[in-house]
Amino acid sequence: MDLEAVRTFVAAAEAGQFREAAAELSLTQQAVSKRIAALENDLGVRLFTRTARGSELTIDGQAFLPHARDLLRAEARAIASVRPGQRALRVDVIGRRLAPAGLLRGFHRAHPDIELDVVTLFDADAAIAALQSGTIDASFRAVTAPRLPEGIESVRVDDEPIQLLTGPAHAFAAVRDITPTELAGYRIWMPSIVPGTEWGSFYDEFAAKFGFVIDTIGPDFGIEPLLDTIADTPTLATFVGERTHIVWPADYDLRRIAVHDPTPVYPHSLIWHADNPHPALAALQTHLTNSATPLDAPNTWTPKWAR
């Protein structure tokens, strides 16, 4: 249906005269008449009848008017859904409990007027493909590739310290901190690691650098079953980010243990498409720049691809 003809019909119905509708729409009266005649021809009914006072709606015109208004409102919503600055800023985070989600929550607190649509894609490859296709505006990821695809840009925004998580009976449960080399010989269980992902690359290099082994034998049933297992065994431990938000039952008595000398840090970057015009994207970049944690702090370790 020709929405310009529908718009002309609504204007004429509300004005009561074609001449006034023409002035409102910056058209000639002849153009208004032609549009309405075309709409009547498409619908197969008469919408107006001429009177001494102007134009009045027929019974069919009265029946069509509320639907015509609905069509124009639907058109406005459709345009707003894709117009930069009117639709929500769509941002991908690796997980809703992980540090990038916390960074995004901080941005929302600073800019509550900016609407956000938060999604979780599988890995960096999926996020970059979504940025290229325009289905997301930005993503928080560790960037392992030495060169991103053309048009895709990134900036490292956060170094998150990695901690050891153990149950109360583990050998390290009573210590406040350990060094990475002390982990040699202990079973670090991380069934969520998928080969080829950015987090898989990080932990592969971390383990190789300091001479310990990460057990990825699954299946991965999620964080709750992992915590159940860690709490009940003295032989297993796992890694979590310092700002990973996890709540567990009090009787689990799990321990977060700092890792120092050096401190392994996971490098979170913001990734976006250079041609993205959404004004809230610039606001997000500015916020992260102003609130970023120090990068490459002394006595920290991160993979070479992050430097």
The whole-number pLDDT of residue 117 equals 92
Pairing assessment for the beta strands 255-259 and 152-166 based on DSSP bridges: antiparallel
Give the Cα separation of 64 and 81 in Å (integer): 26
Mean pLDDT of 2-20: 92
pLDDT tens digits for 205-227?
999 999 999 999 988 898 999 99
Q: What is the pLDDT of residue 80?
A: 72
Tens of pLDDT along 247-300?
899 999 999 999 999 999 999 999 999 999 898 999 999 999 888 777 888 999
In the predicted model, is pLDDT for residue 53 greater than 80?
no
Measured distance between the N- and C-terminal CA atoms of the chain, rounded to whole angstroms: 56
pLDDT in tens, 55-101: 899 999 999 999 999 999 898 888 877 776 668 899 999 998 999 99
Query: To the nearest whole number, what is the mean pLDDT of the chain?
Result: 92
CATH number listed for the domain at residues 3-82: 1.10.10.10
Pairing of strands 236-241, 152-166: antiparallel
Question: pLDDT for 136-153, tens place per residue?
Answer: 999 999 999 888 999 999
Q: What ranges do the domains of the chain cover?
A: 3-82, 89-158+267-301, 159-264
Contact by Cβ (8 Å): 107, 124: no
Q: What is the per-residue pLDDT for 84?
A: 62
Residue 145 CB neighbours (<10 A): 14
* Angle, vertex CA 272, rays to CA 267 and CA 275, nearest 5: 155
Q: What's the confidence (pLDDT) of residue 87?
A: 81
**AA identity, residue 14:** E
Q: Torsion angle of alpha carbons 46, 51, 54, 59, nearest 10°?
A: -40
Identify any residues that bridge with 301 across adjacent strands, giving them in sequence order: 264
Residue carrying the six token digits 């999604």:
119
In the chain, what percentage of residues exceed pLDDT 90? 78
Do the Cβ atoms of 40 and 73 come closer than 8 Å? no
Q: Look at residue 85 in the predicted model and tell me its pLDDT.
A: 61
| Dist CA 108 CA 66 (whole Å) | 38
Inform me whether the pLDDT recorded for 240 exceeds 90: yes
Identify the CATH homologous superfamily for domain 159-264: Periplasmic binding protein-like II (3.40.190.10)
Chain segment 162-192, per-residue pLDDT in tens: 999 999 999 999 999 999 999 999 999 999 9
* Segment 107-125 mean pLDDT: 94
Cis peptide before 262 (omega within 30 of 0): yes
Average pLDDT over residues 98-123: 94
The answer to whether domain 89-158+267-301 has CATH 3.40.190.10 is yes
Phi first, then psi: give them for residue 124, nearest 5 degrees. Answer: -65, -35
Write down how long the chain is: 307
Residue 234: pLDDT above 80? yes
Helix (H, G, I), strand (E, B) or coil at 181: helix
Task: Identify the DSSP state of 113.
Answer: T
Q: pTM (2 decimals)? A: 0.73
pLDDT confidence tier of residue 48, bands split at 50, 70 and 90: very high
Q: Which residues contact 132 (CB under 8 A, 6 or more apart)?
A: 149, 151, 152, 273
- Both tokens of 103, joined, read 């960074």
Q: Do domains 89-158+267-301 and 159-264 have the same CATH topology?
A: yes
